[in-house]
Amino acid sequence: MRLEIQSIDMKDLQAGSKTCATDRILYVNLKELEEILLKDRRIKSVDINLVYPGKRVRIVNLMDVVQPRCKIDKVEADFPGFIGRLQIAGGGRTRSLRGVGVLVSNPCTNRKYSAFLDMSGLVAEMSRYGKMKNISIAPRIAAGTEERDFEDAVKIAGLKTAVYLARCAEGHPVDEIEIYELDIPNLFGKSNLPRVAYYYQLYSPQHDHLGISDPCFYGADVRNLTPTILHPNEVLDGGLVGAHTIRALDTYTIQNHGVIKELYRRHGKDLIFAGVVCGVANMEPVPRKRQAVMASKLVKNVLGAEGVILTKIHGGLPHVDLALVAEECEKLGVKTAIFVQPLISYGTLADTLLFNAEAVNLIITVGATMERIRIPLDADRFLGGTAETKIFCPDPIVQHAGDPLIDVEQFLIAGVHDHLGGTNIMVKEY
Amino acid sequence: MSENKLKVVHYLNQFFGQIGGEGKADIGFMVKTGPLGPGLALQKAIGDKADVMATLICGDNTFSKNPEVAAEEGFKLIKAYQPDLFFAGPAFAAGRYGVACGAICKTVGEKLGIPVITGMHEENPGVDMFRKYAYICKTGNSARDMKESISHMTKLAFKLIAKEKGAHLVSRENLPRPEEYGYFSRIILRNEYTDKIAAERSVDKLLAKLRGEPFKSEVTLPKFEKIEPPLPVKNLLTSEIILISDGGLVPKGNPHGLSGRGNLRWATYEIDTFIPEDFNSSNYEIAHTGYFPVQILEDPNRLVPVDVMRDLMKEGKIGKLHPSFFSTSGNATISRRCAEMGEEMGAEIEKRGVNAVILTST
């Protein structure tokens, strides 16, 4: 499978009478975009705003961030199963806009945790999105729409916006072309390099809002997924999107998947990228064990990998599932490197581990995503909600977006941590 | 003395302060001008960058009787010197001296916000008591190691006041690496920027592991002691049974402030009023962010099975249900604190004469 990503570096984002891209400026016809998003009957109205680094704006109730991208050579192939027709993602040519992002807020959310972003101050300095020019969309719920159904509508509105923007940049000169080509069936026997696979934990049902799982895999939810094999291009090119919550993971992060891009970069030089096995976290011990043995079988006996990198999702519980997959891989002789996310910032580093498996001895941290941080207010404008929007604090403290100081955990800030290995953060013990 | 020189105060016990041996361990505080004993080596190591203005001395017995009170008293005697740096000891393996060094460092550090540095051997009880509050350099177990220990402590002190820009995510504050500067980690975890992204680090390290080369895990595995399961309860009919749960069930409003994640507390509730037979589901909340608590909020008996216990009592299958229920929240709480809470609960249960415990989790 071969994927060509054509990237254009955008320097500016402006409202215009026609959506197009000229001289690295992306002009957006906000009215036209609004009309497109309002075609979804689940959406009553939508606030659309352009936000810039250095401006005193706080965007709240964030549920996703998306990089503007579209397929160039295929019809109805964008984010298949979500907006495009069902087909396998990851082949052909894709246009991608860099330096701009779609910030997707759900102002009608009842979820306990929602992410936020400031375009100035401490947060903007820490977040990769705080340095980009962004379009913020915040759809409002139409009467008679179920809460969970509306969340899907908001998600899709974000994806549609991303596709719309990328499509309208047609004709603009391209800055970089990246080729992602991996011929998995013919990888065997050609090289002495070690074969390394990637185990991608896609989802955990532990925070399912109202007990319903979020669709994130070709339009479907994957709560009961049996581990399966993916081509890495499917991940990079819209087959998968983020859940309806940002917890160190969003669609933008998946589109720029750290571990997959790194394995591609080293493919043929230091290693052979043997492919991707995906699975989910489980709430019960028997399905957990079933996942682990199935996944390790695919890694070892189908992809023929000698080594595997495993990444996790969400919070504490998925560590247990992930460690069990790693343990089963090690039993089969596959060497593992497992990602963890220390959930607390006290105790020693060893205290933070949520599993105890001797064979799982190479542990990589993406940083303590729940490290606390106090953020002085650096905004006088609020998008996606209001100054009264609640911001989650783990202590029994009620705080709001407009408070002079908020005390949060870093995973609530969009664009700082990344479960998929794309950020240069780690936790150290002092 | 030039004006831009740093001011240093040094703490010693009666022995190193040259008052006398064990026979003088009951002396009170005194302050002497300038360096003394190990302070002379300290002054030599810091050279002309700083002056040891004063030496605070106290007997080991006097200090260890009530370290907190003693530390306050000692602090009052030296605060007028307005030190930029504070040193204590090193105490090597001496237990009372180690506690004194740690306690005086803690108080001075908290009151003045200056770097406080001491030195101890790993077996000194002062290490675990005060490593959070002071920079404790690793030393040998006796004064034979004095010169080298003083040199380590000095090197660390200058690193601490250097104000170099560091990699910390938020403050960009620079902290010396414990392994590089030879001190006991202060059990602080912080996020830092690194040169390489996690993906690249993971591939590098995995390739080393695949080649059979040494590799360094970013987290080292904890070591747990093996806990033998207790013997079965001999006779349920004569037993009083208590219910304990780590599912975070608390009264509405969470009066004891249990945290939903990384919780450090536990609380006691009377079953008759907390979970009566005609309970009202609007009276509860769950201080636990690790699971979806919808079913439990509808009926708390699904976490704390009081209804089943009441039935068993009526059927004469168990002796007695203890009238209180212990509640905590077990979600990413470090095992060290879990063990402490277990000990606290165990002691309380023993006091109450309870014979058996049913622990329910989520």
- B14-38 pLDDT, tens digit per residue, is 999 999 999 999 999 999 999 999 9
Of A307, A351, A365, the CB nearest to B222: A351
Q: Are B103 and B11 in contact (CB under 8 A)?
A: no
Domain B6-181 part of CATH 3.40.50.2300: yes
- Going from the C-alpha of B117 to that of each of B39, B44, B159, the distances in angstroms are 13, 17, 12
B188 vs A430: CB contact, 8 Å cut-off? yes
Mean pLDDT, chain B, as a whole number? Answer: 92
Quote the CA–CA distance of A16 and B39 in Å, as a whole number: 73
What is the C-alpha separation between B160 and B137, in angstroms, rounded? Answer: 13
Contacts of B224 in chain A (CB under 8 A): 356
What's the pLDDT at B170?
A: 77
Instruction: Enter the ipTM.
Output: 0.96
Q: What local confidence, expressed as pLDDT, does residue B75 receive?
A: 96
Verify whether the Cβ–Cβ distance B202 to A423 is below 8 Å: no
pLDDT for the residue A168? 94
- Rounded to 5, what percent of chain A is helix, strand, coil? 25, 30, 45
CB pair distance less than 8 Å for B203 and A396: no
Question: Residue B100: what pLDDT?
Answer: 97
* Distance in Å, alpha carbon of A321 to nearest chain B alpha carbon: 15
Instruction: Check: CB of residue A373 under 8 Å from CB of residue B170.
Output: yes
Looking at chain B, which residues constitute the CATH 3.40.50.2300 domain(s)? 6-181
For residue B303, pLDDT beyond 80: yes
So what's the pLDDT on residue B144?
A: 93
A317: which 2 tokens?
A: 């519980």
Taking a C-beta distance cutoff of 8 angstroms, is the pair A227, A278 a contact? yes
- From the list A208, A342, A363, which residue is nearest B189 (CB)? A342
Q: Which stretches in chain A have pLDDT values below 50?
A: none
Task: Quote the CA–CA distance of A145 and A148 in Å, as a whole number.
Answer: 9
- What pLDDT was estimated at residue A212? 93
Which one, of B303, B282, B281, B308, lies nearest residue B292 by Cα? Answer: B303
pLDDT at B3: 59
CA distance A75 to A71: 8
Q: Give bridge partners of residue B157 from the DSSP assignment.
A: none
**CA nearest to B112, candidates B155, B166, B76, B69:** B76
User: Could you tell me which residues are beta bridge partners of residue A336?
Assistant: A308
Measured between alpha carbons, how far is B208 from B203 in angstroms, rounded to an integer? Answer: 9
Higher pLDDT residue, B110 or A354?
B110
Shortest Cα distance, chain A CAs vs residue B96, angstroms = 25
pLDDT reading at B4 higher than 80: no
Count of CB contacts below 8 A, A vs B? 217
Residue B190 has pLDDT above 50, yes or no: yes
pLDDT at A348: 80
Within 13 Å of residue B238, how many CA atoms lie on the same side as its CB? Answer: 3
Integer Cα distance of A421 and A249 in angstroms: 10
- Report the sign of the C-alpha dihedral through residues A125, A127, A132, A138, in that order: negative
Report how far residue A318's alpha carbon sits from residue A247's, in angstroms, rounded to the nearest whole number.
13
| Cβ-defined contact of B187 to A348 (cutoff 8 Å) | yes
List, in sequence order, every residue forming a beta bridge with A276; answer none if it has no partner: A198, A230
**Using H for helix, E for strand and C for coil, what is the string for A264-330?**
HHHECCCEEEEEEEEEECCCCHHHHHHHHHHHHHHHHHHCCCCEEEEECCCCCHHHHHHHHHHHHHH
Give the CA distances from residue B250 to residues A392, B41, B255, B277, B284, in Å, rounded to whole numbers and listed in that order.
19, 58, 8, 17, 6
Interchain pair B197, A423: CB under 8 A: yes
Residue B84 near residue B7, CB atoms below 8 Å: yes
| DSSP element (H, E) containing A9 | strand A2-9
The pLDDT of residue B1: 47
Taking 90 as the threshold, does the pLDDT of residue B360 lie above it? yes
pTM recorded for the entire structure: 0.85
Q: Among A412, A426, A427, pick the best mutation site for testing chain B contact (most B Cβ within 10 A).
A: A426
Residue indicated by tokens 């069936």:
A185
**What is the nearest CA distance from B195 to chain A, expressed in angstroms?**
6
Q: How many CB atoms lie within 10 A of CB B71?
A: 23
Kindly list the residues from chain B whose CB atom is less than 8 angstroms away from the CB atom of residue A261.
199
Residues A168 and A19: their CA atoms lie apart, in Å, by 6
- Partners of A334 on chain B (C-beta within 8 Å) are none
Summarize the confidence of residues B127-152 as an average pLDDT: 94
Contact between chains at A351 and B334 (C-beta distance less than 8 A): yes
Report the 3 state secondary structure along A120-186.
Answer: CHHHHHHCCHHHCEEEEEEEEECCCCCHHHHHHHHHHHHHHHHHHHHHHCCCCCCCEEEEEECCHHH
Q: Residue A394 and residue B187: Cβ atoms within 8 Å?
A: no
Kindly state whether A364 is in contact with chain B, defined as any CB-CB distance less than 8 angstroms: yes
Structure token pair of residue A213: 């799982």
Cα separations (Å) of B189 from A9, A375, A427, B116, B132?
37, 19, 6, 19, 11
Cα A421 from Cα A261, distance rounded (Å)? 10
Which chain B residues are Cβ-neighbours of A321 within 8 angstroms? Answer: none
Tokens of A71: 């397929």
Structure-model confidence comparison of residues B261 and B276, the more confident one:
B276
The set of residues, in sequence order, having a beta carbon less than 8 Å from that of A76 and lying 6+ positions away, is: A84, A85
Position A349 scores a pLDDT of: 85
The 10 Å Cβ neighbour count of residue B220 is 14
Residues 102-141 of A with CB under 8 A from B: 112, 122, 126
A378 and chain B: CB distance < 8 Å anywhere?
no
A112, A327, A351: best to mutate for the B interface, most B CBs within 10 A? A351
Residue B352 is predicted with a pLDDT of: 95
Mode of pairing for the β-strands spanning A133-141 and A43-51: antiparallel
For residue B289 the two structure tokens come to 């962010």
Nearest Cα residue in chain B from A269: B207
B293 Cα to chain A: minimum distance (Å) = 10
Mean pLDDT of B201-223: 93
Give every CB contact of residue B3 below 8 A, 6+ residues apart in sequence.
Answer: none
From the list A65, A5, A28, the residue with the least C-alpha distance to A242 is: A65
A residues 223-262 closer than 8 Å to B (CB): 258-259, 261-262
- Judge whether A270 is closer than 8 Å to chain B, CB to CB: yes
Residue B109: band (very low, low, confident or very high) from pLDDT cuts 50, 70, 90? very high
N- to C-terminal Cα separation, chain A: 46
**A430 neighbourhood in chain B, CB within 8 Å:** 175, 177-178, 185-186, 188-190
CA nearest to B285, candidates A147, A62, A112: A112
In this structure, are residues A316 and A345 in contact, taking their beta carbons and an 8 Å threshold?
Answer: no
Has residue B172 got a pLDDT over 90?
no
Residues B116-125 have a mean pLDDT of: 95
Which residue of chain B comes nearest to A429, CA vs CA?
B189
Identify the H or E element spanning B345.
Answer: helix B335-352
Residues in CB range of B351: below 8 A, 6 or more apart: none
Q: Please tell me if residue A427 touches chain B, with a CB cutoff of 8 Å.
A: yes
Q: Which residues of A223-240 are buried (b: 16+ CB within 10 A; e: fewer)?
A: bebebebbbbbbbbbbbb
pLDDT at A280: 97
The strand pairing partners of A2, in sequence order, are A181
Q: How far apart are CA A318 and CA B184, in angstroms?
A: 32
Distance CA A270, CA B204 (A): 9
Q: For residue A114, how far is the Cα from the chain centroid?
A: 14
pLDDT tens per residue, range B90-99:
999 999 999 9
